[in-house]
């Protein structure tokens, strides 16, 4: 074996590679200034989150009805139904719109708003309908002009102009309570515009009102509870105290519109008694068997005066049939709208759970 030596030294050169041991890396430590900035940012983010939930809680306590409506509108948006405005006679008219296919326009009742159709609208959209739900003049998010009469003819005129503004040559029309009265007036005024008509627990015929009409603009929790019991007899819990205060606040602000509408209706000038035989389109009459506002006897009178009509009586429902019994009302309404040829005249009692 030949021993190799370094040229610079007399020490032998090893054939084995030399291993150099490196010291372990030191962990990175955030400089004190950066640590302080990170903590400050985290505290600010936490404060923002806390403030948001505190604000949401305060809003829920002070304006619970508005929070409920905001959540409802968000739900409608997820169902493809969005909020819009149209300008009619110089006034802003709010409406919801969604879906595609044959059009249907829904009209709410006295002291109400388009969101009351929230349980029906998505069903109609999924059933292939182009749905519109309007806030009548003075209600919901529509304008509240001080000089308006808020009468049946005025509200019907707004609906007729709204239909024209949407370029609807023809539409199905649905109306609930006072909205049913308005819908019938539109169908009598412009029958060529209305393909099929559906009325739900409708007003419009002469009858003895079995309660004080002032309940429609309650001014204290007791009168609000009495109205709720009339609207939903024997159904569900009472209105929570927080919600009662918010409802009474809104009634105090807008109750004059409800009173003006009621005063106009009570004159009897716009009743449709003995005019209904002029309706020649297919008509659906939907009624809650337990209705305490417009008694179920009126449903049979409507059916007698509209020979081609289909009458459906819903067991276990009061005046709020499209809201509280939507799981039955929605599919049956779609069946009526789709029927080709139209359904023959008939009376059907729809039991609970069917």
| Per-residue pLDDT tens over the stretch 8-49 | 445 444 454 455 556 666 655 656 666 566 666 655 655 555
Contact between 205 and 271 under an 8 Å Cβ cutoff? The reply is yes
**C-alpha 28: how far from chain center:** 57
Give me the residue spans of the domains in the chain. 82-350
3-class secondary-structure state, position 310: strand
Q: What is the 3-state secondary structure (H, E, C) of 71-116?
A: HHHHHHHHCCEEEEEEEECCEEEEEEEECCCCEEEEECCCCCCHHH
The whole-angstrom separation of Cα 304 and Cα 277 is 9
pLDDT < 70 regions, the chain: 1-63, 236-237, 354
Tokens of 283: 């008509």
The dihedrals phi and psi of 273, each to the nearest 5 degrees, come to -50, 135
The whole-angstrom separation of Cα 150 and Cα 265 is 9
The whole-angstrom separation of Cα 57 and Cα 342 is 51
- Nearest residue to 154 via CA among 279, 263, 261, 273: 261
| pLDDT recorded at residue 9 | 45
**Helix or strand (DSSP H, E) at 164:** helix 152-165
Cβ neighbour number for residue 186 with a 10 Å cutoff: 26
Q: What is the pTM of this model?
A: 0.82
Q: So what's the architecture of 82-350 in CATH?
A: 3-Layer(aba) Sandwich (3.40)
The whole-angstrom separation of Cα 123 and Cα 175 is 16
3-class secondary-structure state, position 291: coil
| pLDDT recorded at residue 21 | 59
| pLDDT recorded at residue 34 | 60
């Amino acid at each position: 074996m030949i021993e190799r030596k370094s040229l610079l030294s007399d020490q032998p050169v090893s054939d084995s590679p030399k291993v150099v041991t490196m010291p372990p890396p030191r962990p990175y430590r955030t400089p004190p200034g950066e640590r302080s900035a990170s903590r400050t940012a985290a505290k600010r983010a936490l404060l923002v989150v806390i403030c948001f939930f505190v604000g949401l809680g305060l809003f829920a306590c002070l304006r619970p009805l508005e929070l409920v409506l905001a959540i409802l509108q968000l739900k409608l948006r997820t169902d493809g139904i969005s909020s819009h405005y149209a300008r009619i006679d110089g006034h802003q008219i709010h409406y919801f719109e969604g879906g595609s296919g044959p059009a249907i326009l829904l009209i709410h009742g006295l002291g109400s708003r388009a969101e009351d159709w929230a349980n029906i609208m998505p069903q109609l959209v999924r059933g292939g309908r182009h749905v519109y739900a309007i806030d009548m003049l003075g209600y919901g998010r529509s304008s509240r002009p001080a000089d308006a009469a808020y009468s049946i003819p005025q509200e019907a005129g707004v609906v007729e102009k709204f239909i024209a503004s949407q370029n609807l040559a023809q539409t199905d029309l649905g109306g609930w309570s006072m909205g049913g009265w308005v819908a019938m007036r539109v169908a009598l005024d412009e029958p060529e515009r209305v393909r099929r008509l559906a009325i739900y627990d409708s007003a419009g015929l002469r009858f003895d009102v079995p309660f004080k009409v002032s309940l429609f603009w309650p001014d204290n929790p007791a009168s609000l509870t009495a109205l709720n019991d009339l609207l939903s007899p024997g159904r569900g819990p009472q209105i929570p105290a927080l919600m009662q205060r918010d409802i009474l606040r809104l009634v105090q602000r807008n109750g004059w519109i409800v009173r003006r509408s009621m005063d106009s209706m009570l004159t009897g000038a716009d009743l449709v008694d003995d005019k209904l035989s002029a309706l020649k389109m297919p008509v659906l009459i939907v009624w809650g068997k337990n209705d305490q506002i417009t008694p179920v006897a009126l449903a049979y009178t409507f059916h007698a005066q509209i020979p081609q009509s289909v009458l459906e009586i819903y067991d276990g429902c009061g005046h709020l049939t499209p809201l509280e019994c939507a799981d039955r009302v929605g599919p049956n309404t779609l069946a009526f709208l789709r029927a080709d040829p139209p359904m023959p005249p008939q009376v059907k009692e729809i039991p609970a759970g069917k």
